[in-house]
Structure 1
């Protein structure tokens, strides 16, 4: 056995890596977010749809990683290869922006968690909360600039901090579950309105996207596996385990408190539910796990966001200045842009009625464009039979996966609604300045006729979005 073989990892370790990459901060907020929209039946349907759709997306990323190994610049590379440089830029910029907005949600959740003990932080969007979070944002910025890397030890601590509180929550809520309360929460309202069930499920879709953000990372472990077939097994087993955990957290909460009370809990609502079951120590226990988890996750995702811009710049899809690195080999310009966007979005939460839900929904919607384009690229490959010349046996299976993943992402865009599409354009349209700079550096034509049309749609969407914010038609 070669030394390289010794560095390969087993099926069990591979499965653990998939679980670690999928369990994030969002799961700590699902009881309230689901209770705001629906009851138990609606939640079960929502998780079934999300589980099937996200598994198809997971398979899409795995298939693309195997069939297009040369496209190694991240998720946006698939959009560029399939639909041209401007669409590729849209995908890269949107993915980066979604990570930045997701990082804002971490700070809101940290301050909301502390708000249970220090009222000055409120729900995470008071002036004091924003000021303290801003200090934290820039402290992490300078920490990363010094070349701090995410060590394996940090990964282990963060994973333990995420998993243990959730597992304890599941077991305790099973033990303290009240059958009468659970039965009363079966439908989204007391009347059991069957006709409204679709609207209830639709309202939860962006929540399910948020909790599964990072699903594209599962395919990155393909190169680490001892056996190629282990990748598919680890992906399915790890994903189904995480799905069961997420669904359990949201469903079991309905057996502790009435739906209306869960919907009024502060975030992270997992803490409020556990407190209702076991007493005050429950919220303290969850708070410790949440804060440890989120600080570690913020460090990892901040570095990842800077890497997205840096890699795109090295591939000449972003301006060259974003590829610059300091003496510690940190992409300093990309990191600065990342921190500035995080800071800007954080400030907007001061005028938000529900800052965490706003950040969660915007983050999810921004990530949908890269996800949709990746699924559409996979669909394009199977329709053209590209890369299937020697593997025609996989064509039928991959066609089904690509069709289902594409339909799922289209449904998510519909479920997200026009509001977040317009807010996304407010970010996308000005971002085109970076595309203009990169095309000018390369001495290439700015847009094709189709790309001019896309740019026009983005500009109009941006103007409508700003007008909606100014007139109160769009609220955050």
Structure 2
């Protein structure tokens, strides 16, 4: 991937990257995912919290892209610049692993959709489904190895194509919206009290994180931007557009079907709702849109995962072999490592009872630490009284940026709590053993491997991974 002038991306392309990365398979399953845990009132509160939290994070990315234009692949580079080599490494490892898991969710939902027609695909994690997913995985792999020229154009076309079924879905559920059904669903299942609503909202948090993943898409490709200011603008434009879609896709179905009916729909639940309203052709439309969405998002996320490894290796935060580019200027070793990991995750889903939910929540969990570190970096940058990134006349802007950083930090911390100990421990299985890559990198550079604080953190992470593996072996932790 080269960054010469003729490869530079416009504001429209960067915005399409954000929207394309965020709007994947997750949006097509939102009605059922939400209906399983909450009603319209809880859903509105969840989107209010998540919307504010992610908007603040979007502002953080915008701020850092302007104040730190020299830092490429921001979500990793900010962590390293702010908190040292090991946390920078952990950030890139977590983000990369979360992106790989995200691609697994795309395959699961795609094969579950095909299961409408071919029962052998089941819920997306049968042997047949895994083999089918593997063929697509490696087909894309070898296509990407031939070069990424024209990827911007393809991404723009795919983004537009997958929006059409979503917009049609919103039109029909709005057209058939019944206020009486909506009010019956309003409070969700259970008692109408603050405690119950709190639990409902908490249980939606990992879902909302999952569908917001990709908000940093423009930041990851910041080195390709024609104008660095476009990175922040693209992030905000993409976020606002996607948030509006997510709220409508989640809330409007409560006015056309009862909550228990929505919760029992097969995923992608948007297909079942549209089939209920206008017949089988509605389901076929959604299925087509989902397949286009999955393939487009898979391409976007594969390139994102490859890019983050490549940039980290060039910045001496990952082993040197990940810097290698083939004759088509594609980071081939990073691509191989990414897709081999996706393949391993695909095989693991065979043993999961709820493969999509597991992959979805673990994807969200893996991305929380990188998001938290970015938010904390913004707080650190703006809290420094002598920060050279701000002029003396920018006190008001500095206070606003500090507020965004603090709010994002609180939000990310709340998400880690909402995700629960299970996914924190499962995440440590990747963070702990993954430290070997950090050790290799430091040895290549002939530098001290850990500071005292980093060593303690590494030991704690590996202890967590041992506890998680033991918990899986004795059945205390289920997948």
8 A Cα contact 1:9 1:224, kept in partner? yes
8 A Cα contact 1:187 1:193, kept in partner? no
Cα offset, 1:35, TM superposition: 0.8
Cross-structure match for 1:76: 76
- Distance in 2 between residues matched to 1:147 and 1:15, nearest whole Å: 22
CA offset digits 1:384-408 (Å, max 9, x no partner)? 1352244333221111111101111
Could you say if the C-alpha distance between residues 319 and 18 of structure 1 is closer, same or farther in structure 2, counting changes exceeding 3 Å?
closer
- Distance in 1 between residues matched to 2:437 and 2:268, nearest whole Å: 36
Could you say if the C-alpha distance between residues 295 and 13 of structure 1 is closer, same or farther in structure 2, counting changes exceeding 3 Å?
closer
- Distance in 2 between residues matched to 1:181 and 1:203, nearest whole Å: 23
Q: Equivalent of 1:401, from 379, 401, 404?
A: 404
- Distance in 1 between residues matched to 2:444 and 2:228, nearest whole Å: 41
Cα offset, 1:16, TM superposition: 6.2
Cross-structure match for 2:282: 282
Cα offset, 1:25, TM superposition: 2.6
Cross-structure match for 2:470: 467
Does 1:380 pair with 2:380?
yes
**SS of the residue 1:103 aligns to:** helix
CA offset digits 1:12-32 (Å, max 9, x no partner)? 887666544543332111111
**SS of the residue 2:189 aligns to:** coil
- Distance in 2 between residues matched to 1:248 and 1:280, nearest whole Å: 22
Greater shift, 216-225 or 178-187, is seen at: 216-225
Q: CA RMSD in A?
A: 2.6
Greater shift, 172-181 or 306-315, is seen at: 172-181
Greater shift, 321-330 or 152-161, is seen at: 152-161
Cross-structure match for 1:184: 184
- Distance in 1 between residues matched to 2:10 and 2:462, nearest whole Å: 49
8 A Cα contact 2:120 2:128, kept in partner? yes
CA offset digits 1:105-146 (Å, max 9, x no partner)? 111111011111111111101111111111221222222222
Cα offset, 1:162, TM superposition: 2.0
- Distance in 2 between residues matched to 1:233 and 1:429, nearest whole Å: 36
Q: Equivalent of 2:425, from 422, 427, 437?
A: 422
Cα offset, 1:200, TM superposition: 0.6
Cross-structure match for 1:202: 202
Could you say if the C-alpha distance between residues 158 and 226 of structure 1 is closer, same or farther in structure 2, counting changes exceeding 3 Å?
closer
Could you say if the C-alpha distance between residues 272 and 63 of structure 1 is closer, same or farther in structure 2, counting changes exceeding 3 Å?
same
Does 1:432 pair with 2:435?
yes
Cα offset, 1:73, TM superposition: 3.5
Could you say if the C-alpha distance between residues 430 and 226 of structure 1 is closer, same or farther in structure 2, counting changes exceeding 3 Å?
closer
- Distance in 1 between residues matched to 2:352 and 2:33, nearest whole Å: 16
8 A Cα contact 1:58 1:218, kept in partner? no
- Distance in 2 between residues matched to 1:138 and 1:107, nearest whole Å: 13
- Distance in 2 between residues matched to 1:410 and 1:223, nearest whole Å: 29
- Distance in 2 between residues matched to 1:153 and 1:226, nearest whole Å: 16
Cα offset, 1:209, TM superposition: 0.9
Could you say if the C-alpha distance between residues 106 and 221 of structure 1 is closer, same or farther in structure 2, counting changes exceeding 3 Å?
closer
Cα offset, 1:224, TM superposition: 9.2
Could you say if the C-alpha distance between residues 332 and 18 of structure 1 is closer, same or farther in structure 2, counting changes exceeding 3 Å?
closer
Q: Unmatched 5+ residue regions in structure 2? A: none
**SS of the residue 1:271 aligns to:** helix
8 A Cα contact 1:372 1:410, kept in partner? yes
Number of matched residues?
473
* Aligned positions of 1:221-240 closer than 5 A: 236=236, 238-240=238-240
Greater shift, 90-99 or 153-162, is seen at: 153-162
* Aligned positions of 1:324-335 closer than 5 A: 324-335=324-335
**SS of the residue 2:284 aligns to:** helix
Cross-structure match for 1:371: 371
**SS of the residue 1:430 aligns to:** coil
8 A Cα contact 1:103 1:302, kept in partner? yes
Superposition TM-score, scaled by structure 2 size: 0.92
Cross-structure match for 1:307: 307
8 A Cα contact 1:275 1:281, kept in partner? yes
Cα offset, 1:283, TM superposition: 1.1
Superposition TM-score, scaled by structure 1 size: 0.93
Q: Equivalent of 2:456, from 440, 453, 456?
A: 453
**SS of the residue 1:132 aligns to:** helix
- Distance in 2 between residues matched to 1:421 and 1:132, nearest whole Å: 31
- Distance in 2 between residues matched to 1:307 and 1:226, nearest whole Å: 18
Greater shift, 271-280 or 384-393, is seen at: 384-393
Cα offset, 1:233, TM superposition: 6.5
Cα offset, 1:237, TM superposition: 5.1
CA offset digits 1:147-173 (Å, max 9, x no partner)? 244534322331123211111111101
8 A Cα contact 2:66 2:232, kept in partner? no
Could you say if the C-alpha distance between residues 80 and 161 of structure 1 is closer, same or farther in structure 2, counting changes exceeding 3 Å?
same
Cross-structure match for 1:246: 246
CA offset digits 1:232-254 (Å, max 9, x no partner)? 77654543332121111011111
**SS of the residue 1:254 aligns to:** helix
Greater shift, 419-428 or 19-28, is seen at: 19-28
Cα offset, 1:67, TM superposition: 0.8
8 A Cα contact 1:426 1:465, kept in partner? yes
